[in-house]
Structure 1
Amino acid sequence: MHSIIDRSEWAEEPDKWLGEVQLGAHGGNLCLIFNLVAPGQGPRLHKHPYPETFIIRAGRALFTVGDETVEAGPGKIVVVPADTPHKFINPGPDVLETIDIHERGSFITEWLE
């Protein structure tokens, strides 16, 4: 059995890659977040009991992954291991576009700040 998920089921706006989908409800083992992050914005420190992968489509991100700081731009892929505290911020000046892949069919997030 396969699933086709219509954009109207996950997109916050019909013409933007912005929203999220938990594929466990459709038989998958991933969650996808499509982000558009304004300069100066980003999620606060958190961790998951599974790996999270970030694909940078446009803009730049400053990641904190454990004790390291990493900068990533278009075309870069950042993989955060399971149970590793992480966050990122868009240092600007452009909008940051990412696809975040959670290796689980539903979200589990522990917020640390």
Structure 2
Amino acid sequence: MFHVIPLTEQKQSPNRTILFEGGQFGTPISLFLMDAEPGQGPALHVHPYPETWIVHSGEAEFTVGEQKIMGKAGDIIVVDPETPHRFVNTGTGRLQMTCIHASDHVIQEWV
């Protein structure tokens, strides 16, 4: 068995970010395909599971707990469960990255 989710059926926000929640397809992961303008990014939040970011293009400042780190194309960053985190596109172009959630649906609490 396999599933193909055409682009026209993917949940896309006004800023072009796509959300995929794997539970309905029998997979234990969910993800965001980020496509953020300069200055965009989510507010501080936590998840009860780890999150993995893969930066495909652009650059961002990541806040992880009390630390701030820069991420750029090719970097993989892993955040522990229950760790407050956020990121913002600090570059001059678009930030494209995959945010992998170790859950069949996204569980997110804003802090």
Normalising to structure 1: TM-score of the pair?
0.89
Offset, 1:100: 0.5
* Aligned counterparts, 1:66-81, within 5 A: 66-81=65-80
2:56 is matched with: 57
- The aligned amino acid for 2:44 is L
Mark the runs of 5 or more structure 2 residues left unpaired by the alignment. none
2:47 is matched with which residue? Answer: 48
* Pairing of 1:1-113 with structure 2 (within 5 A): 1-10=1-10, 12=12, 18-112=17-111
Letter in 2 for 1:20: L
Structure 2 residue identity aligned to 1:7: L
CA distance in 1, matches of 2:8, 2:22: 15
Quote the Cα distance in structure 2 between the aligned partners of 1:12 and 1:46: 20
Provide the rounded CA distance (Å) in 2 between the counterparts of 1:8 and 1:28. Answer: 21
- In the TM superposition, residue 99 of structure 1 has moved relative to its aligned partner by 0.6
SS in 1 for 2:12: coil
Residue 3 of structure 1, CA deviation = 2.5
Summarize deviations over 1:40-78 as a string: whole Å, max 9, x none: 111000000000011000000100001111101000011
Deviation of 1:11 (Å)? 5.5
Aligned partners of 1:100, 1:71: CA distance in 2, in Å?
Answer: 16
Deviation of 1:90 after TM superposition, in Å, equals 0.8
Q: How many residue pairs were aligned?
A: 109
CA–CA separation in structure 1 for the residues paired with 2:17 and 2:88: 17
Please list every run of at least 4 consecutive aligned residues from structure 1 whose deviation after the TM superposition is greater than 3 angstroms: none
Q: State TM-score, norm by structure 2.
A: 0.91
Root mean square deviation, CA, Å: 1.6
Report Cα offsets for 1:22-57 as digits up to 9, x if no partner.
011110101111111111111000000000011000
| Structure 1 segments unaligned to the other structure (5+ residues) | none
